[in-house]
Every structure is written in C-alpha cells, then in structure tokens.
C-alpha cells in the first residue's frame, strides 16, 4: 500500500506541522505519530466517507486509516463497498481488523467548579470542525439536550445510520435510524448517574379513581385525584366516560399518566429539586409502575393499562391492541364519536 496520501486539507490542518509535512512528503511516520493520528481520527471523525472530495481522495483517505491503524466502522465499510466496488480497496477492507460494529459518539465529561452542572462536549469534524457543549444538572437534562442536538444541531449524523453515545467508555444512549434518541438504562448507567449527578430523589404518587353520575341525565364520569406523597396538596380531574371499552381504558390511562407527570413536575418546581427524580405510581393504593430517570415509560404505561382493564372488568381480547405511544393522542372527536357506538 502506498505511503503517499492525498488527504482532505481539513484533516491535515489538525495535525502538527511536522506530521503534516511528513505526510505531504511521503515520509515514514513513527509509531508516536501514528498514535497521535489515530487518537484524532477515532475521536473527531464519524464518517470519513463524508470528508473526501471525490472517489480517489476517499480511497487515499481509507488507505491512510489502514496505514496508521485508525478505527473504521461498519457503516463506512458498507457505504464504500456499495458505492465504489473497487476490488483492491474491498480486499484491504476485508482484511482490516480495526473495524467497529457500532458508530460511536464519544462525549467528554468536565465537571464545572462551584456549580451543580456538568459539561459534556462533542467535537466532530465531518462537515467542518464543530464543537457542541451540553450543560446538565441531571441525567434527564442531558438526555433532553442530546435529543435536541440529534434532531437539530448535528448535521454530520446520518438518518440511515445507528449510533451509540458513550461517556467515559460507558454507553448511555443509542440513536436509531431516523435519528431518534433511546436512553440506555442498566446498573452501570445507574451507577454513572449516581456518581455524576448524585442519587435520584425518590417520590411516590398516589392516584385515586372513582366513577360518578353527573347532571339530570346521570351521565357517567370518572374522577381522578392525585398527590405526591407528603406534599400536602392534590390535583383533581374529571372526564365523561365513553361507552367504548377501548376508549374507556385509553382515556383513564391517559389521564392517570398525564396527571402523574404533572404532579411530579409541579412538585419538583415548588421544592426546587434539581436532581433526577424516580417516581413510583400507585392507583387506588395498587402499585402500577415507575417513572424512571431515563424517561422511558413503557413499563409504567403497561401497568396503568392493566389496572384500567381490571378496573373496568375488560378483557384484553375485547380491547384489541394499541401502542403506548397513543397516550395523549385521544382527540375530542374520538370521545364524541364514542357515545354513538
């Protein structure tokens, strides 16, 4: 493989002059040179195929990666093979050992002195050097910032690629195709959250539900009351019950879930809580699930749904299937039409 490389100017500009001069002159690189180059390429370039100005420069860039032993990812390998089909390059790629099965996004963590915030930094040069800082006082805020960054502020992320977000060599989130952020939550991440932000504050939310007949026409309604344990205040919501079993369960699940979220949000604001919050939710004194620090509520929604089915004495087969994402989507027209079913 040639030791003369045609590299993008943006990459050469990041290296010390002595190394750039060696590359331009086709001189031998020392192991120390290669180590420094590998560190830069691995930590600041996600998709080398986006850096090159044409197919010849891309071939040269990938040859350079292999020459210095830098990491390539499966997405780059597949993209190059599908686009160019160069037999010599394919042979190089097939024999290369430093290929990652995932595309890694690595965040650098820097606690801010005399502050409750932690700074996380992403720096990538795929489409021009671009540094993005995330300032978070808890894990939930970090996830929210990452979500905005993925959807709006990271043009080098590709919609047809999956990514894994790392902090201190620990995977804390995944980005699916279509650029949707999914938190990773396991014992290691819980330990990271506790060590970085402090242990989450634990709350209990108690909701009670009962049916009432209202008005001269004795219209059946449902009353939901809830409170954070020990808060001394509560909230109440009332809704007219539809006749459809599906809509009854969907309505009650929506109301209990939204009320629980609202109670926790208002309590955190009133008590100036900046830590992550983990909330156990009870309905009529029955535990139905947890709102975790990762904002993943599928288990809680399933628990509320199961309780609502039992409350209305509905069978799952009678209700049919509907997804957790339907929470909050029940429209006024849905409810209106249900009374005529």
Q: Give pLDDT tens digits for 142-184.
A: 999 999 999 887 888 999 999 999 998 899 999 999 999 999 9
Rounded to an integer, what distance in angstroms lies between the CA atom of residue 278 and that of residue 200? 6
Specify the pLDDT at position 325.
40
List the structure tokens of 93: 């790629």
Residue with tokens 């009432």: 212
- How far, in Å, CA of 31 to CA of 44, rounded? 20
Q: How distant, in Å, are the alpha carbons of 9, 16, 94, 268 from that of 61? A: 11, 18, 16, 51
Tens digit of each residue's pLDDT (9 = 90 or more) over 200-225? 999 999 999 998 876 656 678 889 99
CA 259, CA 309: separation in Å to the nearest integer? 19
pLDDT given at position 267: 93
Give me the pLDDT at residue 321, please: 47
d(CA 341, CA 322): 19
Contact 314, 248 (CB under 8 A): yes
Domain layout of the chain by residue ranges: 9-100, 103-197, 201-338
* pLDDT tens digit at each of 341 positions of the chain: 457 888 988 888 889 999 999 998 888 999 999 999 999 999 889 999 888 888 888 888 998 999 999 999 999 998 888 887 677 778 878 888 899 999 999 998 887 766 778 999 988 878 766 788 999 999 999 999 999 999 887 888 999 999 999 998 899 999 999 999 999 989 999 999 999 999 999 999 999 999 887 665 667 888 999 999 988 888 999 888 888 888 888 899 999 999 999 999 999 999 999 899 999 999 999 999 998 887 767 788 899 999 988 888 864 444 444 433 444 455 655 555 554 44
CA distance 4 to 15: 16
pLDDT for 319: 47
Q: What pLDDT is stored for residue 218 in this prediction?
A: 62
pTM: 0.79
pLDDT of residue 334: 57
Beta bridge partners of 286: 283
Asked whether 266 and 257 are in contact (CB, 8 A), the reply is no
Q: What is the strand order of the sheet 103-111 is part of?
A: 130-136, 118-124, 103-111, 163-167, 170-176, 180-183
CB 310 within 8 A of CB 234: no
**Distance between CA atoms of 238 and 221, rounded to whole angstroms?**
7
Contacts of residue 249, Cβ cutoff 8 Å, sequence gap at least 6 = 305, 308, 309, 312, 314, 319
C-alpha dist (Å) from residue 151 to 133, 137, 148, 168, 176: 15, 21, 5, 23, 12
For residue 340, the model assigns a pLDDT of 46
């Amino acid at each position: 493989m040639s030791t003369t490389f045609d590299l993008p100017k943006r990459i050469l500009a990041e290296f010390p002059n002595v190394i750039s001069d060696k590359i331009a002159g086709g001189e031998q690189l020392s192991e120390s040179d290669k180590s420094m180059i590998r560190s830069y390429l691995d930590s600041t370039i996600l998709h080398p195929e986006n850096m090159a100005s044409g197919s010849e420069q891309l071939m040269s860039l990938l040859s350079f990666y292999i020459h210095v032993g830098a990491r390539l990812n499966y997405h780059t390998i597949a993209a190059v093979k599908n686009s160019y089909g160069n037999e010599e390059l394919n042979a190089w790629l097939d024999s290369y050992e430093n290929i990652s099965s995932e595309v890694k996004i690595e965040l650098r963590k820097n606690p801010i002195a005399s502050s409750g915030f932690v700074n996380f930094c992403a720096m990538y040069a795929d489409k021009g050097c671009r540094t993005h800082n995330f300032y978070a006082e808890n894990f939930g805020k970090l996830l929210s910032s990452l979500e905005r960054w993925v959807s709006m502020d990271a043009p080098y992320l590709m919609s047809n690629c999956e990514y894994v977000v790392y902090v201190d060599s620990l995977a804390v989130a995944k980005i699916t195709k279509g650029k949707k952020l999914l938190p990773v939550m396991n014992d290691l991440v819980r330990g990271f959250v506790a060590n970085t932000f402090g242990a989450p504050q634990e709350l209990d939310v108690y909701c009670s539900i009962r049916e009432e007949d209202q008005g001269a026409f004795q219209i059946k309604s449902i009353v939901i009351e809830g409170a954070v344990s020990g808060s001394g205040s509560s909230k109440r919501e009332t809704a007219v019950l539809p006749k459809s079993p599906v809509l009854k369960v969907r309505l009650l699940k929506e109301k209990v879930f939204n009320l629980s979220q609202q109670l926790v949000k208002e309590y955190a604001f009133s008590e100036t809580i900046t830590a992550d919050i983990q909330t156990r939710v009870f309905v009529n004194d029955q535990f139905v699930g947890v709102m975790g620090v990762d904002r993943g509520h599928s288990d809680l929604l399933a628990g509320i749904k199961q309780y609502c089915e039992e409350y209305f004495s509905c069978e799952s087969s009678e209700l049919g299937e509907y997804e957790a994402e339907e929470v909050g989507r029940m429209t006024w027209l849905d409810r209106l039409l249900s009374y005529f079913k």
